[in-house]
Structure 1
């Protein structure tokens, strides 16, 4: 309820111009699409993870059994050699299925590595699991597929949680060549608003592939401070008009 009270005025600029409303509609559409994408990815992993884990376990057990059959077959005569050839064919099929699963995980892990730069430093402490992503293809091939799938699902869950909540942090930002210690309000992972301790400086932050970028927003310090105090329950719930910075974003 509190998050909604802060966000509602964010959707209407004080000037009320049609151009601004159109820009805001477009921005909100991108933000909602981002939330929908994350939710769909998480639901997909939740629905498929258990099935994959079972399939992976069966395939790996089958592969192990077939390898044992192949090893045993090397000591037998021509009749056993035919069985060995059949076992080899079955193993090749199992290996092909495992390869398909690896390709799916490769794509998911690459997507999550891009997400890592879009999570601000002030919120990164609440996310665990990025270090468990394989950094090279060789490392990925050594990891069990079940473990990789579990890591991917856990990270998508945490990202969705961040996207669906408001957060207030205190951190140091580099803005236009100057370092500032500020309080920051994050609206999911789509927008952020920073304010100095004296409320005399404010900025709007937007995510990008290289990290968050910040643009000063003159005269909006008091509004950002009221929003942060309301979120922290230091003020009674109220409507707060936040500065808006419309910018093109790179999709994750």
Structure 2
């Protein structure tokens, strides 16, 4: 467009010079031929019109040029922003991929730990199921609900619930093992139901006696449960130990025989 404006301006200058140039003689020497005033005025008007058109086109071109320059700068900024976004997206993609790998690795580690924990819980449940038969009635009554859940535990039960029930039963068993417990019970002697008091020394030994002292004996745990042996001669010492435990008598040493086992000699214990 700039070249067109320059050509138009040059044409106007040449044309204007021709109009205003001195009159020339005709080639045949017949004299000078002068353009009529009307023709001159018309040419001037045309020249002014052309000049105005050139000025307008020049002005429009300048405006368009400035617009193109602004658009070009805008495009440059947009390209720079797109490059920055592309770079940032690439960085975020790399970070996301690294995080994904870390999460997958962590997930695998958690899966392995869960498998190990599940195996340990299953082993503990199996060991506890084998020990449940030796739990005396007062201990079983204390954790009866948890024992039932342990006995029926399976893969459908969440691990945290299975572990909680194991912990409840194990804690109760430890507390019982470390204490002396007296609990009432009903025993059958000669076809008759007799109420007795049972003195448990943890989970290792127990003695029983009825209130009149007619029936007495001792017991110890086995794989089939508690095994009891009657021995009426133990009635007095057992009742004395129970009274001491209930604080119905002053503390003193009481000799109580353990149930007959090859590795269980008679011992003396102080019951308070």
TM-score normalised by L of structure 1: 0.57
Q: 1:133 to 1:221 in 2, by over 3 A?
A: same
Secondary structure of 2:184's partner? strand
CA distance in 2: counterparts of 1:175 and 1:114, whole angstroms: 29
Residues 27-66 of structure 1, C-alpha deviation per residue, up to 9 Å, x if partnerless? xxxxxxxxxxxxxxxxxxxxxxxxxxxxxxxxxxxxxxxx
Residues 14-36 of structure 1, C-alpha deviation per residue, up to 9 Å, x if partnerless? xxxxxxxxxxxxxxxxxxxxxxx
- Which runs of structure 2 are paired with 1:7-26 in the superposition (5 Å)? none
Contact kept? 2:198, 2:206, Cα under 8 Å: yes
Secondary structure of 2:185's partner? strand
* Number of the residue aligned with 1:146: 160
* Number of the residue aligned with 2:143: 127
Contact kept? 1:224, 1:242, Cα under 8 Å: yes
Q: 1:248 to 1:159 in 2, by over 3 A?
A: farther
1:218 to 232, 236, 260: 232
RMSD: 3.1
**Larger Rg: 1 or 2?**
2
* Number of the residue aligned with 2:261: 247
* Number of the residue aligned with 2:118: 102
Residues 157-190 of structure 1, C-alpha deviation per residue, up to 9 Å, x if partnerless? 1110000000111101357977532111000010
CA distance in 1: counterparts of 2:172 and 2:104, whole angstroms: 42
Secondary structure of 1:235's partner? coil
* Number of the residue aligned with 2:65: none
Query: How far is 1:92 from its partner?
Result: 5.6
Query: How far is 1:123 from its partner?
Result: 3.3
TM-score normalised by L of structure 2: 0.53
Q: 1:89 to 1:243 in 2, by over 3 A?
A: closer
- Which runs of structure 2 are paired with 1:168-187 in the superposition (5 Å)? 168-174=182-188, 179-187=193-201
Residues 68-97 of structure 1, C-alpha deviation per residue, up to 9 Å, x if partnerless? xxxxxxxxxxxxxxxx99988875664333
After the TM superposition, which parts of structure 1 deviate over 4 Å for at least 4 consecutive aligned residues?
84-94, 174-179
- Which runs of structure 2 are paired with 1:59-74 in the superposition (5 Å)? none
CA distance in 2: counterparts of 1:198 and 1:155, whole angstroms: 35
CA distance in 2: counterparts of 1:103 and 1:220, whole angstroms: 46
Q: Number of aligned pairs?
A: 167
Query: How far is 1:246 from its partner?
Result: 2.9
Structure with the bigger RCO (C-alpha within 8 Å, sep 6+) is 1
Gaps of 5+ in 1: 1-83
More strand by share: 2
Gaps of 5+ in 2: 1-99, 264-272
Residues 199-242 of structure 1, C-alpha deviation per residue, up to 9 Å, x if partnerless? 12211111112221100123110110000011011111122111
